[in-house]
Amino acid sequence: MTCSVMWFRRDLRLGDNPALLEAAASAETVLPLFVFDPRLWDPAGSPRQAYLLASIKALRDQIGGLVVRWGDPAHEVERVVAEVEASSVHIAADYDPYGHPRDVEVKQRLEGREVPLARVGSPYAVAPGRVLNQQGNAYQVFTPFSKVWRDHGWRAPAETRHVSWDHSLESVDLPAVRVPGGMTVPVAGEEAALTKWRAFLDGGLATYDVDRNRPDLDGTSRMSVHLKWGEIHPRTMLADLAQSDAPRKAVDRYRTELAWREFYADVLARRPDSARDYYRPELAAMTYDDPGEQFEAWKDGRTGFPIVDAGMRQLRAEGWMHNRVRMIVASFLVKDLHIEWHHGARHFLDWLVDGDIASNNHGWQWVAGSGTDAAPYFRVFNPIDQGKKFDPQGVYIKRYVAELRDCPLDELHQPHDPIVDHAEERREALARYEAVRRA
């Protein structure tokens, strides 16, 4: 009986999974495999580890068993292939700076056994590298990318078919992870993703264009973690959006947010160095302060700026933060505390369950002024004004900053024992930028 291997990575679902369909079509049985790679697992924060474990358990329950291994994927995948005498291995393409060369190495190892590594599909509606301008070059900024991305279009969701699973191999035990005290990790798995998505389609989508920036409202889909681990494919979501009766502005706005995710993936695939280095290298000469007590206060949500502290405490409570607030707290770190964006990006990856290096690190570079945004460095978010505008009744602040729950509204958004003076630090940030610009 012939057997193929479905090597799951960031596609922890059975529906709309082209690689799984090809695996099932190429052999009589399919062996489901997940490999814990220490080079990815060890640097991940415990919230992300905990969510991944929950998602793997959900997938294992769906299948009725999952072969789990631990170690270097090039070795472990080859060993599994030898153990079941597999005829092929199937994956969704990975475009990350680490994932792509890893897959090349696995492919080369399998070629020695005359076993193909078949790459089918990707975690994106439009794979990185396919959205190009008329000269055949990649787009440097988002707006023209998004227009061509929409015109390019995407395939319909892949069908779901019966799979005969091979459960003949032993698995290693799943690792144990303890999340930080007080944190609640979201429910994981394909069923949870589809349930949450359908609820958003029936509810929040209708007002998404006006509510998405309001952290005090339940105005976002919170689908980022499900997209991160491939518990749902964006192609499925885009197909549902096309059939939605929600107002066009709301649908278009949500589709644009999906395009941002694909844009940053495209940028990272084109410029893998930008995961760690400056996308605009001239900004690397900016003068920054060393992280110290103020950095620790920022991480703990003790800056004295209510909207900033609420966001940082939400991160510790839920492993997630509202996107508008992510921009506010990032701007505060870089522009008010003058701490380099790398430190904030790393802290986010330590705590976010949806931590994605393309979206996270390029989002931070966007705020720092060193990324793909066409606007220069002088955008500085005023945390007081941002709080008043996007949390007008202080509902979000009071939800996460317990000591302000009895604070009158007319005082709520003002700094409380602030660690810096925003107006003064804004001037300092602009002066530092001007020094770089003139150099």
Could you read off the pLDDT of 269-304 as tens digits, one per residue? Answer: 999 999 999 999 988 999 999 999 999 999 999 999
Contact of 58 with 13, CB cutoff 8 Å: no
| Residue 309 domain flag | yes
Tell me which H or E stretch contains 438. Answer: helix 422-438
What is the sign, positive or negative, of the torsion defined by CA atoms of 108, 114, 115, 118?
A: positive
pLDDT band at 161 (very low <50, low <70, confident <90, very high): confident
Query: Same structural domain for residues 48 and 146?
Result: no
CATH number at residue 42: 3.40.50.620
Residue with tokens 């980022």: 224
CATH number at residue 138: 1.25.40.80
| Residue 210 domain flag | yes
Q: Return the pLDDT at 377.
A: 66
Query: Same structural domain for residues 258 and 369?
Result: no
Residue 381 DSSP SS3 = coil
pLDDT band at 182 (very low <50, low <70, confident <90, very high): confident
pTM for this prediction: 0.96
CATH number at residue 382: 1.10.579.10
Q: State the DSSP string of 187-201.
A: P-SHHHHHHHHHHHH
Q: Return the pLDDT at 378.
A: 74
Query: Same structural domain for residues 197 and 58?
Result: no
| Residue 183 domain flag | no
Q: How far apart are CA 344 and CA 337, in angstroms?
A: 11
Strand order in the sheet with 67-70: 67-70, 29-36, 3-8, 88-91, 117-119
Is the per-residue pLDDT at 439 higher than 80? Answer: no
Query: Same structural domain for residues 296 and 318?
Result: yes
| Residue 186 domain flag | no
Could you read off the pLDDT of 97-132 as tens digits, one per residue? Answer: 999 999 999 999 999 999 999 999 999 999 999 999
- The amino acid that residue 356 corresponds to is D
Could you read off the pLDDT of 374-428 as tens digits, one per residue? Answer: 666 678 999 999 999 999 999 999 999 999 999 999 999 999 999 999 999 999 9
Domain interval for residue 67: 3-122
Contact of 94 with 102, CB cutoff 8 Å: yes
Beta-bridge mates of residue 33: 7, 67
Query: Same structural domain for residues 295 and 396?
Result: yes
* φ, ψ for residue 236, nearest 5 deg: -60, -45
What is the sign, positive or negative, of the torsion defined by CA atoms of 307, 311, 313, 317?
A: positive
Q: How far apart are CA 295 and CA 312, in angstroms?
A: 12
Query: Same structural domain for residues 142 and 59?
Result: no
Q: How far apart are CA 116 and CA 109, in angstroms?
A: 10
* Dihedral angle computed from the Cα positions of residues 423, 426, 431 and 434, in that order, rounded to the nearest 10 degrees: -140
* Segment 36-52 mean pLDDT: 96
Query: Same structural domain for residues 131 and 260?
Result: yes
| Residue 184 domain flag | no
Query: Same structural domain for residues 305 and 259?
Result: no
Q: Return the pLDDT at 373.
A: 81
**Encoded tokens for 66:** 């999952």
Q: How many domains does the chain have?
A: 3
**Residue that is last in its domain, among 270, 294, 310:** 270
Query: Same structural domain for residues 107 and 135?
Result: no
Tell me which H or E stretch contains 91. Answer: strand 88-91
**Residue that is last in its domain, among 122, 141, 176:** 122
| Average predicted confidence (pLDDT) for the chain | 96
Query: Same structural domain for residues 131 and 258?
Result: yes
The percent of residues in the chain predicted with pLDDT above 70, rounded, is: 99
Q: How far apart are CA 185 and CA 47, in angstroms?
A: 7
| Residue 354 domain flag | yes
Q: How far apart are CA 60 and CA 313, in angstroms?
A: 33
Query: Same structural domain for residues 228 and 285?
Result: no
| Residue 19 domain flag | yes
**Residue that is last in its domain, among 220, 251, 270:** 270
Is the per-residue pLDDT at 254 higher than 70? Answer: yes
| Residue 177 domain flag | no
Query: Same structural domain for residues 295 and 256?
Result: no
